[in-house]
Chains A and B, each alone.
Chain A
Amino acid sequence: MKELQQRVKDQGIDDLEVRPYLCFGACQEGPNVVLYPEKSWYAGVKKGDLDDIMGHLAGGPNVTRLDTIDGSLKELIYQLLDTGVF
């Protein structure tokens, strides 16, 4: 997470906050990176994946190889995030 935070800072992205969150129930497939409100969920993220994730944040394509989380879990968590209180 520190690496991701540093890259965001280095690239001067000021409308993005990188922070730990509540347990989303997918720790066995972690580390997980959830981009919200965009609603992209990347699982099993390694340092080597950060270039692609940063590329996505800069407007590049989705990193489909990391999009492995069950759709129903994603939907549940996105709905919780949509309540706006977390």
Chain B
Amino acid sequence: MQGILFPRGVVEGRENLQAYRARGGYEALAQALKGFSPGQILQEIADSGLRGRGGAGFPTGKKWAFTAESTETPHYMVLNGGEDEPGSKKDRLLMENLPHLVLEGLILASYAVKASKAYLYINAIYEEATRSMSDALAEAKAAGYWGEKINAGGDFSLEILLSPAPANYVAGEDTAALEVIEGKQPLPRQKPPFPATAGLFGKPTAVNNVETLANVAPIIAHGAKWYRSFGTAESPGTMIFSMNEEVHRPGVYELPFGTPLRYLIEDCGGGVKSGNRIKAIQPGGPSSAYLPGEKIDIPLDHNSVRQAGSAIGCGVVHPITTESCIVEETLRIAEFFSVESCGQCPACRMETNMLAAMLKKVQQGQGGQPILDQFAKVIAFNKGKGFCNLVNMPGPPIESALRLFRADFDSHLANGRCPQG
């Protein structure tokens, strides 16, 4: 299947500058710097309907406009490659294999938001991705794609620096990334103000996920209308979905938004390894609500997945078959968020620790109905009470698990073990 990012929809090894140029790479940047204003580039991105791929799906054009229109200077651009979501490897693969596609997007984005300095914030354990991006930076600098006075008018200069990201979940949060680049601990900031207007060193800063920026050059090269020929009206383009060891062919798959979930799991992933019936699907990583297995034919786009009761997140799709216990699955998720909570917000610390402890008790068969009644109360009490969104993350999987798979919880409470034994 034709992709927008991966030319044939699949990963095919690292693409160097020569290979990237041979398929039209950096032509979008050359055109932009020769004949288009930053405002025109921004408008094209807004018209394309590109939405952030880091999880929230916020319209990229709107985000950039806040930064571009700010009269505060200088402006900054940050590539957020702090990916640490369990099961997600799309950003790492993009940086490893298509570094120039990512870099061209970053330079175009910097031009659009009038940034004079950009940072490549990359998870420190991604050694190959860091090397690949570092090599691409050097190649692109030598070719004159970034540096001093690179546009036709001679008024656009861009400096690009690497900044390693600590390998933990919260460090991938946009404002935690800014803290790290400023030399501080990876702790999210209170918002507002948002980074778009008061980010790095208090200045306007556009922070974008790697996959988001990888979409920019193709949009500028082919136009917003072309981009909208992929996907759906409210979710244009493609998205990279990650599938892990539960399917025969784990990997990343770039598919147009709106592709049926079944196609991803069965045609791309080759179906679930166990061969058992799929009883639940988490379509958007550990913070997304479970869907019942019968929803396998829903289209993979923001609206459809939301209407089905979940979220597409960063595209980590996790099918769960009948031999698995949802209590065990949910406990693993709760423990993950408990460990990854940075601890600076009391509500988040309390909630994530408490939910994990409560699920542990349920797993051990303790607490009965009274403890099940407390989950919704703990989640509701703490909702939104934190500097970042982590406090809201354990809620959807836990509440959907209780609603959809009550038999698994009842089995643990009655017998101290899973229904499957």
Instruction: Decide if B62 is an interface residue (CB 8 Å cutoff).
Output: no
| CA–CA, A22 and B378, complex, Å | 14
Whether B353 pairs with A85 at a CB distance below 8 angstroms is no
The segment out of A5-13, A23-31, A45-53, A56-64 that lies at the interface is A23-31
Contacts of A27 in B (CB 8 A): 346, 349
Whether B370 pairs with A23 at a CB distance below 8 angstroms is no
List the 4 closest A-B pairs by CB distance, nearest first. A25-B350, A85-B367, A85-B366, A85-B361
Nearest A residue to B378 via CB reads A76
Whether A28 pairs with B381 at a CB distance below 8 angstroms is no
Whether A79 pairs with B377 at a CB distance below 8 angstroms is yes
A 42-86 to B, binary, CB cutoff 8 A, 1 in contact else 0: 000000000000000000000000000000110010011011111
A82-B370, A83-B367 are known contacts. Are A23 and B353 too (CB-CB below 8 A)? Answer: yes
| CA–CA, A84 and B358, complex, Å | 11
Instruction: Decide if B124 is an interface residue (CB 8 Å cutoff).
Output: no
| CA–CA, A31 and B264, complex, Å | 51
Whether B371 pairs with A85 at a CB distance below 8 angstroms is yes
A25-B349, A25-B350 are known contacts. Are A83 and B378 too (CB-CB below 8 A)? Answer: no
Partner of A79, one of B346, B347, B374: B374
| CA–CA, A22 and B357, complex, Å | 9
Instruction: Decide if B382 is an interface residue (CB 8 Å cutoff).
Output: yes
CB distance from B367 to the nearest CB of A (A): 4
Whether B350 pairs with A23 at a CB distance below 8 angstroms is yes
A24-B350, A25-B350 are known contacts. Are A80 and B374 too (CB-CB below 8 A)? Answer: yes
Contacts of A82 in B (CB 8 A): 370
Q: Pick from A26, A27, A85 the residue with the most CB of B within 10 Å.
A: A85
| CA–CA, A35 and B344, complex, Å | 26
Instruction: Decide if B354 is an interface residue (CB 8 Å cutoff).
Output: yes
Nearest B residue to A86 via CB reads B357
Partner of B351, one of A25, A79, A83: A25
B 334-353 to A, binary, CB cutoff 8 A, 1 in contact else 0: 00000000000011011101
Contacts of A23 in B (CB 8 A): 346, 349-350, 353-354
| CA–CA, A22 and B361, complex, Å | 13
Nearest A residue to B380 via CB reads A76
Whether A25 pairs with B367 at a CB distance below 8 angstroms is no
Partner of B371, one of A28, A72, A73, A83: A83
Contacts of B354 in A (CB 8 A): 22-23, 25, 80
| CA–CA, A22 and B352, complex, Å | 11
CB distance from A70 to the nearest CB of B (A): 10
CB distance from A41 to the nearest CB of B (A): 14
Whether B370 pairs with A83 at a CB distance below 8 angstroms is yes
